[in-house]
């Protein structure tokens, strides 16, 4: 493919994006789509307002771009939480580092590549793309120091920027921890694997244990129940509640009767605890006797102070590490209730099984990726499979099959991966939705890096050499990569164009939800109770996508610098699109509190080291020992930087500082707010309130929640 | 080599051992050697008693064997601590598992190997050793299921025994934690990386911080000083102390004036804290002003309860994980004072540097091992190096060079490794002597497994094939191992005979110390002040040795069962020898409290999985797919067992259970002992008391301490 081909491809994609963006700016003005494009606002504003039809609605406009651009970090935190900020920081970081890389690579490296061989150059538009890659530099060239210099500049800038980001995000994380209003999760510890006793029910065991050993800080507890039968009981109770509601509403000062008696820590038991210590047996009659059988060996224990809860969650309670296992509880909205009942002794088996299944799945997925690569190398395959020759003889078909089709197949195939990984992470036993999403994010990331990057390159290399690949020794890996990476530049440029640009447009227009919405309205005549999904941000698909583009950017920047402008366009548009999505579309029901950042840091360091490895192989291949020699200290320094950052920042994502917690506790105590917090704590966690939503969420990568009629929605453009 | 050769070698070794053991039984009866063979007793009993010469002293006897055999576990714990019990459990576990292996392999596997090929057998004594290895089984033999069965029996027994040992040692560890008398370390937290302040000294910062955040549980603290000038001041103070001692001895009720003023938490400051809280500045005049400059950014903080100390040591104190870093303090005798002053920000660099140096050292050490292997394969090398032919033509020389010399060189070379690893571990920055020894133990273990096992096998294989090894893909590793392991059986059998048996005899007789002692007495006429070393047990050399023998046992048991009887003899004799050494020779100044056990568990599992890998390669090579198929589930089960054990037991070695600590605290409080413990706590840690000994220890793998004149020693046979 030559420059013209690449530009054509870029042109087509730009046009598609432009059309879709315009379509979006029109669609978002239609009131019937408000549920799709303004989920965030709908969740906030709930007033009745009917807007009349006007012609302006049908004119494409760029107002959303301005709005997204102007949003400050505070706005983002307010609507998307810390995770959204971390997400946008990934994009900003990428823009910064790839701008630096683009400047140095296009002005220094690209000319050297182009004039690397003594050859007759054609017109630039009809020039083959390979002329622009590092493959064009001749062996032993003394200009290779420029590539080495570029590598140094890019690595140093990346580390510098990464350090600044690390520092900023660590500060934001601290602010998140100490932010008001107080979080119930900070006072709550999830205790699992309570040992079974034939004499006492779990609730008694818990209250006895914590009164004995944590008497001064233990406040109350709330049993967790197996769902199923209880669920049925609950719905009955709910009906009765609705009947009684009108008369007795003012008698109880608590928000929901559902927590009473069923969700363990009742207001009455709580007051008993606060006053005179009374034997646990006396409280037995608060819980229905048949519910005892439904008790899980898991419980939420509430403590008087954040500090006490934190230290209990980090301690080994009893000499048997498989009993009385503690964790800090997730936020009430974040709890993955159905996973809390999994017997703790099965958890490690589940984890091992999920890990093995993921690995097997990744290996088996090489099949489709192989097909993709086969298509990308169809011209080489046609010697083996003669029927391809007929198809490929037509120029258009050839370009389609070798250029565009592979990445489209790859994208479609990759659409099914996140839900599968989400399922795996649910089976794994995460106790929180955010934890499940983070775990799925890591799995999808491994999958993408393995399948998109390595498998593509290696399978490509396998088709090139067909049999020699089998004898590749790990030592030779850098050389193999160095040989294949420049050749693969064209494929990955197309990948950025299709997977990157197109996915942004899709993300904006949300065609799938739009279609569902349309079908729902047209076929089901479902005008009254439209169930349109208010989604939470799919970090587990989007973060891996960004990171893989980052990986592609780093590994290709000095070998095929032409990829950089396309990447920069992608990240710049992504910045606007995702800002809009975070501000308007997605609802933040739960967040991990910036726990995605360590993943980002690790992958960036991995990308840098991988780039160095490829550079090492490449310089070795081009017989430039000086350049090779200079790469090794760079890698060592990068790794040292990584270890330092781990030591300096990463503990903050695992543990909360005692100083901060104690200060917060004291402040609350002095302001007299602590009592109020304790009161609210007991009703904060309600197992069966939002179970429907949680269940819907379980096997869908987009979390769903029922909202009110579209007529009720205020038009908020 | 044939059976006769092997038996000759075994005979020579047995004779040497017998002579050395007899020599030992005589030498130990000489009063002048009491310091060498009864260090343990000397440390306990200190009375003046002169025994007259009698003839009985010169008669070899087996009394020590009986005594060692009769010693109960309580005796071992009393004289060697939990580490000694763990050490002996390794031996007992090895005896048990290799007895089972020996029974099944010698009665089931060995005959199958011997009659594996249809061949004319010679007399058994002149039969080649290779006939007894699995290499003699013909391809596709239907008797390979027996090898597979043996593998199953051995793996299952090993896992079962390992589980029992895990359980026992976990219980012992719990008993160790809750054992009386109370340990000062349980109340003490080592805080490092105190941030520097221009206004306040470290001591004030510490007292202000802990009073503010841990006011209810903070007791007192003790600064740590840089040595050097302080050391000089101390020696002056000590002189003055000796002068004043006779007159003022009863005025002070504390054990040593050395702690006063210099080691921070003085009795007076302690009483102030216990009473009215007073500003830290007022206490400043207790410390000499010039000592402030010598303060390190590290401090020992004493808490009122074990529980408070434990949770503080596990917490992240401030939002910066590189400041106010906490660890549970080691026992007073165990503290590695000079390492406490290392600035914390340098520690990770030291760790990385040590790790890299260790890896480089291990790679470079392939040189000597290559020489060893070259000698073992001298008959193959003589085609390359013709001058060897002349030497090897003499039969005796050939046997010496190929049979005995390689392992002797290996042993001598391996003598220098433990001190080097001990040095690395000291540089690494361990805060305790036991931690340093444990770290050195792991390093020596990696070194031995890599150099003795893998390097030997792979370099051997390299010499066999000379150039083909370069193209070995990791996938082919099992096949390479399977091919080489049976061939190497002879070398490792000799290794067990020389390194194993001979080292036991050396361990018993202690020729090096004996020689030093002799030289000291004869040359220096040093009859009065004999400085004979009372050593602490060299776990870092002996545990790796045992584990490598275990690894050899597991990997060779089904391939070359003839190695098993020799191993069993080794372990049985080791059981007696080490019991004697623990009871009589070594003094336990510090112990890790069983922290060596997880290493043992991990290496045993590694050995099993390695055996499976080799078996897999072997069955593949012999074209027995059924047997290969049966090995895979066995490996999976072994790994699952390992993960379970980690979950179930390993946390106990990292953390103490809150329940146990709180119970202990309450018991002490109720019995009124807590006040007494608090009093003792402040004088428990003394930085400059035993510095000489600690310094001597630093670069020596045997810890040394000065003891009294030999005339003062009671003869304790």
The pLDDT tens digits of the residues spanning B653-664 come to 999 999 999 999
Of A320, A640, A660, which has the smallest distance from its Cβ to B319's Cβ? Answer: A660
Cβ–Cβ under 8 Å, residues B220 and B265: yes
Going by C-alpha positions, the residue among A185, A91, A222, A118 that lies closest to residue A574 is A91
Element (H, E) at A189: strand A188-192
Task: Give the largest CA-CA distance in chain A.
Answer: 95
Cβ–Cβ under 8 Å, residues A709 and A528: yes
Q: Do A316 and B652 touch (CB under 8 A)?
A: yes
Cβ–Cβ under 8 Å, residues A691 and A337: yes
Residues whose CB is less than 8 angstroms from the CB of residue A361 and which lie 6 or more positions away in sequence, other chains included: A420, A447
* A26 vs B692: CA distance, rounded Å: 83
* A353 vs B: CB within 8 A: no
Give chain B's mean pLDDT.
Answer: 78
* B148 vs B545: CA distance, rounded Å: 28
Is the backbone of residue A324 left (phi > 0), alpha (psi -120 to 50) or beta? left
- Cα torsion at A132, A134, A139, A142 (round to 10°)? 90
Half-sphere exposure of A450 (CA within 13 A, CB side): 17
* B172 vs A: CB within 8 A: no
Q: How far is B154 from chain A (nearest CA, A)?
A: 24
Going by C-alpha positions, the residue among A100, A111, A108 that lies closest to residue A155 is A100
* B557 vs B154: CA distance, rounded Å: 9
* A326 vs B: CB within 8 A: no
* A93 vs A550: CA distance, rounded Å: 10
* B657 vs A: CB within 8 A: yes
* B470 vs A: CB within 8 A: yes
pLDDT digits (tens, 9 = 90+) for B602-617: 999 999 999 999 888 8
DSSP per residue, B24-78: HHHHTTSGGGHHHH-HHHHHH------PPP-GGGGS---HHHHHHHH--HHHHHH
Of B318, B348, B652, which has the smallest distance from its Cβ to A643's Cβ? Answer: B348
Q: Two tokens at A445?
A: 């990331």
Cβ–Cβ under 8 Å, residues A543 and A596: yes
* B317 vs A: CB within 8 A: yes
Residue A537 DSSP symbol: P
In chain B, the residue whose alpha carbon lies closest to the alpha carbon of A318 is: B657
Cα angle A580-A583-A587, degrees, rounded to a multiple of 5: 120
Q: Do A315 and B655 touch (CB under 8 A)?
A: yes
A-B contacts at Cβ under 8 angstroms:
97
* B360 vs A: CB within 8 A: no
The pLDDT, as a whole number, for residue A716 is 36
* A392 vs B: CB within 8 A: no
Overall average pLDDT of the B271-293 stretch: 44
Q: Do B659 and A319 touch (CB under 8 A)?
A: yes
Overall average pLDDT of the B567-592 stretch: 90
Q: How far is A656 from chain B (nearest CA, A)?
A: 7
Going by C-alpha positions, the residue among B138, B133, B127, B90 that lies closest to residue B110 is B133
The DSSP bridge partners found for residue B221 are B301
pLDDT digits (tens, 9 = 90+) for A573-604: 999 999 988 888 888 888 888 999 999 999 99
The pLDDT, as a whole number, for residue B659 is 92
Cβ–Cβ under 8 Å, residues B463 and B487: no
* B315 vs A: CB within 8 A: yes
* A346 vs B: CB within 8 A: no
Q: Two tokens at B224?
A: 């740590």
Q: Which residues of A touch B178 (CB under 8 A)?
A: none
Residues whose CB is less than 8 angstroms from the CB of residue A95 and which lie 6 or more positions away in sequence, other chains included: A568, A571, A572, A575
Asked if omega into A181 is within 30° of 0 (cis), the reply is yes
* B363 vs A: CB within 8 A: no
Q: Do A649 and B321 touch (CB under 8 A)?
A: yes
Task: Give the largest CA-CA distance in chain B.
Answer: 95
User: Which of A208, A214, A316 would you mutate first to test chain B, the one with the most B CBs within 10 A?
Assistant: A316
Q: Do B647 and A348 touch (CB under 8 A)?
A: yes
The DSSP bridge partners found for residue A432 are A335
Instruction: Please give the average pLDDT of every successive group of 10 residues along chain A, which has 717 residues.
Output: 74 83 80 74 56 69 82 87 93 95 90 77 72 77 86 95 95 87 90 88 91 91 76 61 54 41 40 37 45 82 93 91 92 89 89 93 78 65 65 68 67 81 91 93 92 75 56 65 77 81 83 82 61 73 93 90 91 92 86 92 96 88 83 94 93 91 91 88 77 40 34 37
* B675 vs A: CB within 8 A: no
Q: Do B311 and A316 touch (CB under 8 A)?
A: no
pLDDT digits (tens, 9 = 90+) for B528-548: 444 445 678 899 999 999 999
* A174 vs B: CB within 8 A: yes
Q: Where are any strands of DSSP class E within A319-442?
A: 325-328
Q: Which residues of A touch B660 (CB under 8 A)?
A: 319
In chain A, the residue whose alpha carbon lies closest to the alpha carbon of B320 is: A648
Residue B277 confidence (pLDDT) above 60: no
Cross-sheet strand order for the sheet of A218-225: A218-225, A295-303, A188-192, A325-328
Number of Cβ atoms within 10 Å of the Cβ of A686: 18
Q: Two tokens at A708?
A: 């009110």
Q: Which residues of B touch A642 (CB under 8 A)?
A: none
For B473-482, b/e burial (b = at least 16 CB within 10 A) is eeeeebbbbb
Q: Do A319 and B657 touch (CB under 8 A)?
A: yes
* B176 vs A: CB within 8 A: no
Of B170, B640, B658, which has the smallest distance from its Cβ to A317's Cβ? Answer: B658
Residue B631 confidence (pLDDT) above 70: yes
Q: Do A322 and B348 touch (CB under 8 A)?
A: no
Asked if omega into B181 is within 30° of 0 (cis), the reply is yes
* A643 vs B: CB within 8 A: yes
Q: Which residues of A touch B471 (CB under 8 A)?
A: 471, 473
Q: Which residue has the tokens 């379970």?
A: B644
* A218 vs B: CB within 8 A: no
CA B70 to chain centre: 24
The pLDDT, as a whole number, for residue A641 is 95
Residue B304 confidence (pLDDT) above 70: yes
Number of Cβ atoms within 10 Å of the Cβ of B488: 24
* A321 vs B: CB within 8 A: yes
Q: Identify which has the larger pLDDT, B424 or A706.
A: B424
Q: Do B322 and A349 touch (CB under 8 A)?
A: no
* A537 vs A591: CA distance, rounded Å: 10
Q: How far is A49 from chain B (nearest CA, A)?
A: 48
Q: Do B643 and A474 touch (CB under 8 A)?
A: no
Cβ–Cβ under 8 Å, residues B264 and B273: no
Going by C-alpha positions, the residue among A277, A254, A275 that lies closest to residue A266 is A254
The pLDDT, as a whole number, for residue B79 is 86
Q: Two tokens at A231?
A: 């669920």
Q: How far is A473 from chain B (nearest CA, A)?
A: 5
Going by C-alpha positions, the residue among A476, A490, A487, A474 that lies closest to residue A621 is A476
Overall average pLDDT of the B285-313 stretch: 80
Half-sphere exposure of B411 (CA within 13 A, CB side): 19
Q: How far is B621 from chain A (nearest CA, A)?
A: 19
* B450 vs A: CB within 8 A: no
Residues whose CB is less than 8 angstroms from the CB of residue A517 and which lie 6 or more positions away in sequence, other chains included: A32, A33, A35, A36, A530, A532
The pLDDT, as a whole number, for residue A690 is 45
Going by C-alpha positions, the residue among A374, A358, A462, A437 that lies closest to residue A410 is A374
Cβ–Cβ under 8 Å, residues B87 and B578: yes
The pLDDT, as a whole number, for residue A620 is 85
- For the ranges B28-37, B331-340, B507-516, the lowest mean pLDDT is seen at B28-37
Of A352, A470, A474, which has the smallest distance from its Cβ to B643's Cβ? Answer: A352
The pLDDT, as a whole number, for residue A249 is 45
Radius of gyration of the CA atoms of chain B, in A: 29
* B651 vs A: CB within 8 A: yes
Q: How far is A214 from chain B (nearest CA, A)?
A: 9
* A649 vs B: CB within 8 A: yes
Q: Do B647 and A314 touch (CB under 8 A)?
A: no
Residue B330 confidence (pLDDT) above 70: yes
The DSSP bridge partners found for residue B154 are none
Q: Do B643 and A348 touch (CB under 8 A)?
A: yes
* A340 vs A227: CA distance, rounded Å: 11
The DSSP bridge partners found for residue B326 are B191
Helix axes B202-213, A658-670, angle to 10 degrees: 50
In chain B, the residue whose alpha carbon lies closest to the alpha carbon of A665 is: B213
Question: Where do the structural domains in chain A lie, given as residue ranges?
Answer: 3-180+348-655, 184-330
Q: Do A322 and B648 touch (CB under 8 A)?
A: yes
């Amino acid at each position: 493919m030559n420059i013209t081909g690449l530009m054509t491809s870029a042109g087509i994609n730009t046009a598609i994006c432009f059309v879709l963006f315009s379509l979006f700016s029109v669609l978002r003005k239609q009131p019937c789509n408000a549920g799709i494009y303004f989920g965030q606002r709908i969740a906030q504003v709930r007033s009745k307002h009917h807007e009349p039809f006007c012609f302006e609605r049908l004119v494409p406009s760029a107002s959303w771009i301005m709005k997204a651009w102007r949003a400050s970090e505070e706005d983002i935190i307010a609507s998307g939480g810390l995770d959204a900020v971390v997400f946008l920081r990934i994009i900003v970081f990428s823009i910064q580092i790839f701008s630096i890389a683009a400047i140095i690579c296009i002005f220094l490296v690209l000319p050297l590549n182009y004039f690397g061989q003594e050859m007759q150059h054609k017109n630039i538009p009809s020039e083959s793309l390979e002329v622009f890659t590092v493959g064009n530099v001749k062996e032993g060239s003394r200009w290779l120091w420029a590539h080495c210099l570029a590598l140094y500049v890019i690595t140093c800038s990346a580390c510098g920027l990464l350090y600044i980001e690390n520092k900023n995000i660590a500060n934001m994380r601290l602010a998140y921890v100490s932010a008001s209003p107080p979080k119930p999760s900070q006072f709550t510890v999830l205790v699992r694997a309570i040992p079974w006793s034939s004499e006492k029910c779990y609730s008694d065991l818990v209250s006895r244990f914590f009164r004995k050993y944590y008497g001064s800080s233990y406040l109350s507890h709330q049993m967790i129940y197996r769902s199923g039968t209880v669920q049925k009981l609950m719905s009955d109770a709910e009906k009765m509640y609705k009947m009684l509601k009108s008369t007795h509403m003012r008698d109880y000062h608590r928000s929901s009767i559902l927590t009473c008696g069923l969700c363990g820590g009742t207001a009455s038991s709580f007051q008993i605890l606060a006053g005179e210590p009374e034997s646990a047996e006396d409280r037995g009659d608060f819980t229905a006797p048949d519910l005892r059988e439904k008790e899980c060996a898991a419980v939420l224990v509430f403590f008087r102070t954040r500090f006490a809860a934190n230290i209990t969650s980090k301690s080994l309670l009893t000499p048997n590490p498989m009993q009385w296992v503690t964790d800090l509880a997730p936020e009430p909205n974040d709890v993955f209730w159905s996973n809390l009942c999994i017997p703790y002794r099965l958890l490690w088996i589940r984890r091992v099984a999920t890990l093995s299944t993921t690995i097997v799945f990744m290996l088996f997925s090489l099949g489709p990726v192989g097909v993709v690569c086969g298509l990308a190398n169809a011209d080489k395959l046609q010697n083996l499979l003669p029927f391809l020759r007929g198809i490929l003889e037509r120029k258009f078909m050839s370009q389609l099959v070798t250029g565009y089709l592979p990445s489209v197949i790859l994208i479609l195939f990759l659409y099914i991966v996140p839900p599968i990984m989400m399922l795996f992470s649910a089976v794994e036993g995460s106790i929180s939705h955010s934890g499940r999403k983070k775990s799925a994010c890591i799995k999808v990331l491994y999958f993408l890096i393995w399948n998109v990057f390595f498998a593509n390159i290696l399978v490509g290399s396998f088709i090139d050499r067909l049999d020699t690949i089998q004898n590749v020794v790990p030592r030779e890996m850098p050389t193999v990569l160095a040989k294949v990476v420049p050749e693969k530049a064209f494929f990955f440029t197309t990948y950025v164009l299709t997977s990157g640009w197109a996915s942004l447009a899709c993300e904006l227009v949300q065609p799938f939800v739009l279609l569902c919405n349309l079908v729902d309205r047209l076929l089901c005549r479902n005008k009254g109770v439209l169930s349109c999904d208010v989604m939470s941000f799919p970090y587990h698909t989007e973060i891996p996508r960004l990171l893989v583009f980052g990986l592609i950017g780093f590994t290709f920047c000095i070998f095929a610098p032409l990829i950089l402008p396309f990447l920069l366009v992608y990240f710049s548009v992504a910045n606007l699109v995702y800002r809009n999505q975070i501000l308007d579309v997605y609802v933040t029901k739960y967040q991990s509190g910036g726990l995605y950042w360590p993943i980002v840091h690790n992958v960036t360091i991995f990308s840098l080291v991988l780039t160095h490895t490829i550079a090492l192989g490449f310089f070795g291949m081009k017989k430039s020992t000086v350049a090779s020699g200079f790469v090794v200290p760079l890698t060592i320094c990068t790794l040292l930087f990584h270890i330092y950052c781990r030591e300096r920042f990463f503990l903050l994502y695992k543990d909360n500082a005692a100083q901060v917690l104690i200060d917060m506790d004291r402040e609350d105590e002095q302001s007299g707010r602590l009592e109020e917090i304790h009161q609210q704590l007991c009703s904060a966690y309600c197992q069966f309130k939002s179970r429907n939503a949680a269940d819907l969420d379980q096997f869908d990568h987009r979390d769903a929640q029922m909202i009110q009629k579209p007529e009720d929605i205020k038009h908020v453009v």
